[in-house]
Amino acid sequence: MTGDALDRIIQEDIAKGLVPCFVCATLGTTSSGAVDDIPAVADVAAKHGMWTHIDAAYAGSCMVLPELRHHLAGVDKVDSIDFNPHKGLLVNFDMSAMYVRDRAPLVRALTLNPEFLRNAATDAGAVTDYKDWQVPLGRRFRALKLWLVLRTYGAEGIRGYMRHHMGLAADFEAWVEADERFEVCADRHFGLVCFRLRGAPDAANAELLERLNATGKTFLTGTSLDGKFTLRLAVGGTNTGAVHVAECWQLICEEAEAVLKEAAGAN
């Protein structure tokens, strides 16, 4: 998403009599790990008095690395941001963290205080009552598992773990780029590499994905980028190491060769 594109769509909505009120930018899209132009999006949203949210579900955990925090440019202009520590931050499913610049609008929209829910501490403002931050009144105690990870690994331990995964993804990307049979389909910002068989039809790439997953030795997913079927390799498993990524690449090469030979024979 760019600021110009957003502004154009907002103007179109206003012309239709609509009242745009919310925009969600993405830091690390699911399909390719792309990052929206957050500073420009936030500026346009502010011009129209809209709430700006950042969905950093996947890539938010990567922001523990100082060398990746340039992707947070413009975050000081937004109203809220969320990310999922269970995606790459050593926390088991499920856990999402949300931050808001000003909780007052959120609380005003969601507060529900029938007599049976009122209590002196909340009425006096002595506690933050999180039932007023969400639709359900209750929530599980998810904070403990994140606290345990922080206490066990520490900041540098977590950064080392994350850098290890980023490095493995970079290695895989380099192997893909060096092999003329393949092409990288999107810029790699984090631990996700998008690739496909160069010049091959979607059916061949889809078949490659099916063959890989059918081996039971690896698991990849697919997506569509620029109208083309694309394979996705995400490095993020807790125990994933260099040997696993190397074995996966070897398997990809073997299955790709089989797919290409079948295609050549059919022609």
pLDDT score at 267: 62
Q: Give the pLDDT of residue 263.
A: 80
- Structure confidence by residue, pLDDT tens digits, 141-192: 999 999 999 999 999 999 999 999 999 999 999 999 999 999 999 999 999 9
Domain assignments of the chain as residue spans, ordered by start: 1-83, 103-141, 155-266
Which residue matches tokens 């029938």? 114
CA distance 10 to 18: 9
pLDDT at 64 over 80: yes
Per-residue pLDDT, averaged over 90-98, amounts to: 93
Of the candidates 255, 181, 249, the one whose C-alpha atom is nearest the C-alpha of residue 212 is: 255
Q: Which of 163, 136, 159 is nearest to 149 (CA)?
A: 159
Q: Is pTM, for the whole model, over 0.85?
A: yes
How many angstroms separate the CA atoms of 209 and 224, rounded? 13
pLDDT at 265 over 80: no
Relative to beta strand 221-225, strand 192-197 is unpaired
Instruction: Please write the tens of the pLDDT for every residue from 207-252.
Output: 999 999 999 999 999 999 999 999 999 999 999 999 999 999 999 9
* 128 Rama class: left (phi>0) / alpha (psi -120 to 50) / beta: beta
As a whole number of angstroms, the distance between CA 202 and CA 228 comes to 6
Fold of 155-266: Aspartate Aminotransferase, domain 1 (3.90.1150)
Identity of residue 172: F
d(CA 107, CA 105): 6
